[in-house]
Structure 1
Amino acid sequence: MSQGRFDHDVVVIGSGFGGSVAALRLRAKGYGVHVYEAGRRFADEDFAKTSWDLRRYLWAPALGCFGVQRVHKLPHVLVLAGAGVGGGSLNYANTLYVPGEVFFADRQWAHIADWRAELAPHYATAKRMLGVVEQYPHEGPVERIMAGAADDLGVGHTFRRAPVGVWFGVPGETVPDPFFGGDGPERTGCTLCGNCMVGCRVGAKNTLVKNYLALAERLGAVIEPLRTVTEVRALAEGGYQVTTERSGAWLRRDRRSVTAEQVVFAAGTWGTQQLLHRMKDSGALPGLPDSLGRLTRTNSEALDGAVAVAVPEGLELARGIAITTSFHVDETTHVENVRYGPGSNLMGGLATGLVPGGASLGARLAALVGGFLRAPVTALRLGSLRRWSERGIIALVMQTADNSLTISLKRRFGRRVLTSAQGHGEPNPSHLPGAHRAAQAIAARVERDGVVPAAARGSWPEVFGIPMTAHFLGGAVVSDAPEHGVVDPFHRVWGHPGLHVVDGAAVPANPGVNPSLTITALAERAMSRWPRRGQADERPEQSALHDAEHRE
């Protein structure tokens, strides 16, 4: 459905938490919506059985791997992201927290609105759509270990069960849609297999294909998988030309172009930033704000953990969903347990011993070598990937600290690629002392409850001063003026009100919790302000917003 001048009313780039909300809400308002997704479409049975099935687990399309797990490298961070119809919901950990007050009060946007109040109804909608269970309902060894570690650190009062987006039902029992009055797909009760982040083959995980995208397609939105958007170009007569090619193609790229009156960027923070930077560099989108790339966040994140030499059969560390509990080490540092299911041991290759924070690379490597020489047999057994997911607990550590990176383009071997530099606030941390304290406390509890030797573990990227994050955010943030961010308070790109950013790239601060619910709520708010097709747009024009900012 278009207005005649354009092939589509709206093109949505990406089908993750922001893109899926846009697809459903705009189609419900009468717009013709076409969604391009770089990844493939998965039925439940298409997901990898374990992370060792690289073709179905990893995203490296040029090598024939069309899985759910993206890995991107910048000088200052290693980024883990999602791929496929449903975006990051396919391999995220189902964890849906509302951030604390520090996030809403961040100086980047606190003066624009009372964001906690403004977003409250949209968080409620997002929770209903994503099927949030406010507290994980099961208890096992990991949950008791986490509670004990919190007590040992003196922060037991902060321990809680995680809010999660899973249909628990009766394990293994398939029932008609229990969420949307029968309009959604049938669901199967969670079996606690632990492989949420490899892809839920059971059908219990509330991925976006089970809610927003299923309902959007039912209304007539079109989702085209395995198409990578390579260019968005402003047209002289208004609207935009969107060019795509076949994902991962070396030769027959099948390049195509369509026109759209409006475009929604929702390709994930990495994908959205990369595309906007390239379009600014090439001139395809003239006048994009110079603030593009600033205030890129990593959720001030680290991944450490605890691994035991061996685990008794009764200590089922891999049984449960991906994340089930959390506690706060201090006011700014939030810790969650993370698990993979039995057999999914690939990510264990990133683990190594803890190294001293703030030390030189030589000192960090010397610490690893020294630890190995002191106890080589134990070090080899701890480093083994055999039953890695069943022998340990990953500690995902996030902070509300005000640190950031600035992302830009550089040319390398004739290609334009993203690079990073330290940005506003404190330097993006390569070491979190709270993460080490948490990992050591968890390891002590694993050792006590498992009656076997256990040790806190770090990661190889951390050894080389490069933290990992599963929550890459910002760079095209909500702002009061183009000098301060890329989008206005209604998520329209400054200077291009027909362009919109509704994914993690628009998030202006470190939430200190898993950001998926916040991205969904922000997208719900942005889409709620769109007029129905053919009706007057009541949002203020950008010139009025900018003038108001300068008057103040």
Structure 2
Amino acid sequence: MSAFDEDVVVIGSGFGGSVAALRLAEKGYRVRIYEAGRRFEDTDFATTNWNLRRYLWAPALGCFGVQRIHRLPHVMILAGAGVGGGSLNYANTLYQPGAAFFEDPQWAGIAPWQQELEPHYATARRMLGVVEHYPHTGPVERIMAGAAEDLGVADTFRRAPVGVYFGKPGETAPDPFFGGEGPARTGCTLCGNCMVGCRVGAKNTLMKNYLALAERRGVVVEALRTVVEVRERPAGGFAVTTRRSGAWGRRGRRTVTAERVVLAAGTWGTQQLLHRMKATGALPRIPDTLGQLTRTNSEALDGAVATRVPESAEFARGVAITTSFHVDDRTHIENVRYGPGSNLMGMLATVLVPGGVPLHRRLGALCGAVLRHPIRQFRLGTLRRWSERGIIALVMQNADNSLTLSLRRRFGRDVLTSAQGHGAPNPSHLPEAHRAAAAIAARITRETGTPAAARGSWPEVFGIPLTAHFLGGAVLSDSPDRGVVDPYHRVWGHPGLSVVDGAAVPANPGVNPSLTITALAERAMSYWPRQGEPDPRPAQAAPGR
């Protein structure tokens, strides 16, 4: 009879947590997943992102959707929520980073990472059903190719690798990926609402692969349970306390014990929990490097929009991301779309203002654009059919910049805050993004005959970039002086606790990180012993040695 309620508790059900749950169940462990978000069937997702209760995550307001939005002094973060984590609202885009990521000094000396991770990338591609080149061509794809040509980088243009079942549009077929062991799937209809939640059943979310297979192997998934404490037990193992998501005070709290814990709550959730447990003494030996090397993927979200819907343009038709190009060695540009009617995110868009200048000059540029051309700016800024008139430009860099996160007391609560960290300052704007947005706008005008303009975001006006790929802060390292987890993803000083999500990623990949998080999780789990067998991983040195 085990002394613990569970062998392993996994906190979070995104790309790291789902891999951990399946692989550990296959190795004979009793596994329980706690997920703060709700469980969604395909038809539970919002029809458009105006359905706030099903789209946004704000439990205190009764909103239990897939889209989290967090704010720090130096960045605004878009993240996922629900059983399946970020796979529910990500853009199904699964690139592998270039060599610069694997050669980053933070971790390059530990292993030949590109070589070591290659078999795990292959497993991740197979499990996530990656189609290496998006198979359809429409006006957006032609405009992106044209923008790349105009910028002199046509040779870098490519179709995106996406995790989507294309099949016959709208037709449901038996599981095409796992020999019938997985769920039935329905062919993509190109509705464009991947990031609102795929109601068709074509998107290869984690509920269609890792989590579906894990539950078949006995993994228990508890939705709407937020972990509020992970405490080291004197006799060994951990006590994990949860409460119902959105509940007030201490009502509905439950505690289970586990021999080991895998922390995979997404970078925001993982860092928040680790910071609080370090501060309260629940996990007293977490390294002081916690919060350092927090990355934003050096991102910007700009774009271009037309004054009206171009005739037969069908900008909103397709999957969320379909193409990309590089404007230089470190800067990667992707087109992003929402489906018809999903215009909520247009509220973040505004005039593209100069970067690197004082706030009063940015505000002056915005006001000047509106005063000079009020009718044109109204047409550009209206939310009516916004998703059908424009192209979002997601810009990512593998540049070495970072933030350092810590706790501060605010309104009687400990909350995360940020400061500039190692490397160059985290950028508040990207000149490369502005150039790309202008090129895309020019191509929209040229290809459709409809006037278009480059657009920025309201946070960028105030010097705060947007990122959909918040990473790091509990990074993989060769010692606790350089990071929070060891080369096997075990927390230094607490080897029974592992971090297996984006928080462990040590550098900016410069591409969408989901495939990399999955591959790193596959590698980490490959080193775990089978239940009851000796651990092949080397023991950590005692603290202070």
**What TM-score does the superposition give when structure 2 sets the normalisation length?**
0.99
- The answer to whether the 8 A contact 2:493-2:543 is kept is no
**Hey, what's the Cα distance between the residues in 1 that align with 2:357 and 2:385?**
32
- The answer to whether the 8 A contact 1:37-1:227 is kept is yes
Q: 1:385 aligns with which of 383, 386, 408?
A: 383
Q: 2:508 aligns with which of 510, 513, 538?
A: 510
Could you tell me which residue of structure 2 aligns to residue 64 of structure 1? Answer: 62
Q: 1:454 aligns with which of 449, 452, 455?
A: 452
**Hey, what's the Cα distance between the residues in 2 that align with 1:511 and 1:353?**
29
Query: What amino acid is the match of 2:521?
Result: A
Could you tell me which residue of structure 2 aligns to residue 410 of structure 1? Answer: 408
The 5 Å alignment of 1:333-352 reads 333-352=331-350
Could you tell me which residue of structure 2 aligns to residue 498 of structure 1? Answer: 496
Bigger drift between 537-546 and 394-403 goes to: 537-546
Query: What amino acid is the match of 1:352?
Result: T
Q: Which runs of 5+ in 2 are unaligned?
A: none
The answer to whether structure 1 residue 169 and structure 2 residue 193 are counterparts is no
- The answer to whether the 8 A contact 2:55-2:196 is kept is yes
CA displacement 1:331-361 (0-9 Å, x = unmatched): 1000000000000000000000111111110
The 5 Å alignment of 1:412-427 reads 412-427=410-425
Q: 1:130 aligns with which of 124, 128, 131?
A: 128
- The answer to whether the 8 A contact 1:297-1:403 is kept is yes
Please report how far the alpha carbon of residue 542 of structure 1 lies from its aligned counterpart in structure 2 after TM superposition.
1.2
Query: What amino acid is the match of 1:209?
Result: M
- The answer to whether the 8 A contact 2:292-2:404 is kept is yes
**Hey, what's the Cα distance between the residues in 1 that align with 2:244 and 2:304?**
41
Could you tell me which residue of structure 1 aligns to residue 239 of structure 2? Answer: 241
Q: Secondary structure at the match of 2:33?
A: strand
Could you tell me which residue of structure 1 aligns to residue 468 of structure 2? Answer: 470
Query: What amino acid is the match of 2:63?
Result: C
The answer to whether structure 1 residue 535 and structure 2 residue 533 are counterparts is yes
**Hey, what's the Cα distance between the residues in 1 that align with 2:544 and 2:471?**
25
Could you tell me which residue of structure 1 aligns to residue 112 of structure 2? Answer: 114
The answer to whether structure 1 residue 103 and structure 2 residue 101 are counterparts is yes
Q: Secondary structure at the match of 1:329?
A: strand
Q: 2:228 aligns with which of 230, 239, 242?
A: 230
- The answer to whether the 8 A contact 1:336-1:396 is kept is yes
Q: Describe the shift of the 1:546–1:182 C-alpha distance in structure 2 as closer, same or farther (beyond 3 A).
A: farther
- The answer to whether the 8 A contact 1:266-1:503 is kept is yes
**Hey, what's the Cα distance between the residues in 1 that align with 2:508 and 2:248?**
37
**Hey, what's the Cα distance between the residues in 2 that align with 1:378 and 1:252?**
53
Bigger drift between 444-453 and 518-527 goes to: 444-453
Q: Secondary structure at the match of 1:184?
A: coil
**Hey, what's the Cα distance between the residues in 1 that align with 2:154 and 2:307?**
27
Query: What amino acid is the match of 2:509?
Result: P
- The answer to whether the 8 A contact 1:481-1:546 is kept is no
Please report how far the alpha carbon of residue 385 of structure 1 lies from its aligned counterpart in structure 2 after TM superposition.
0.3
Q: 1:258 aligns with which of 256, 259, 267?
A: 256
**Hey, what's the Cα distance between the residues in 1 that align with 2:525 and 2:70?**
29
Q: Which runs of 5+ in 1 are unaligned?
A: 548-552
Query: What amino acid is the match of 1:542?
Result: Q
Please report how far the alpha carbon of residue 311 of structure 1 lies from its aligned counterpart in structure 2 after TM superposition.
2.2
Q: Secondary structure at the match of 1:200?
A: coil
Q: Describe the shift of the 1:87–1:26 C-alpha distance in structure 2 as closer, same or farther (beyond 3 A).
A: same
Could you tell me which residue of structure 1 aligns to residue 438 of structure 2? Answer: 440
Please report how far the alpha carbon of residue 252 of structure 1 lies from its aligned counterpart in structure 2 after TM superposition.
7.0
Could you tell me which residue of structure 2 aligns to residue 35 of structure 1? Answer: 33
Query: What amino acid is the match of 1:175?
Result: A
Query: What amino acid is the match of 2:381?
Result: G
Please report how far the alpha carbon of residue 250 of structure 1 lies from its aligned counterpart in structure 2 after TM superposition.
2.4
- The answer to whether the 8 A contact 1:169-1:189 is kept is yes
Q: Describe the shift of the 1:546–1:203 C-alpha distance in structure 2 as closer, same or farther (beyond 3 A).
A: farther
| Percent identical residues | 78
**Hey, what's the Cα distance between the residues in 2 that align with 1:144 and 1:25?**
41
**Hey, what's the Cα distance between the residues in 1 that align with 2:358 and 2:132?**
43
Could you tell me which residue of structure 2 aligns to residue 550 of structure 1? Answer: none
Please report how far the alpha carbon of residue 287 of structure 1 lies from its aligned counterpart in structure 2 after TM superposition.
1.1
Could you tell me which residue of structure 2 aligns to residue 15 of structure 1? Answer: 13
Query: What amino acid is the match of 1:87?
Result: G
Query: What amino acid is the match of 1:510?
Result: N
Please report how far the alpha carbon of residue 253 of structure 1 lies from its aligned counterpart in structure 2 after TM superposition.
2.8
Please report how far the alpha carbon of residue 546 of structure 1 lies from its aligned counterpart in structure 2 after TM superposition.
9.7
Q: Secondary structure at the match of 2:342?
A: coil
**What TM-score does the superposition give when structure 1 sets the normalisation length?**
0.98
- The answer to whether the 8 A contact 1:480-1:545 is kept is no
Shift >4 Å, 4+ stretches: 544-547
CA RMSD of aligned residues (A): 1.0
**Hey, what's the Cα distance between the residues in 1 that align with 2:309 and 2:46?**
25
Could you tell me which residue of structure 2 aligns to residue 218 of structure 1? Answer: 216
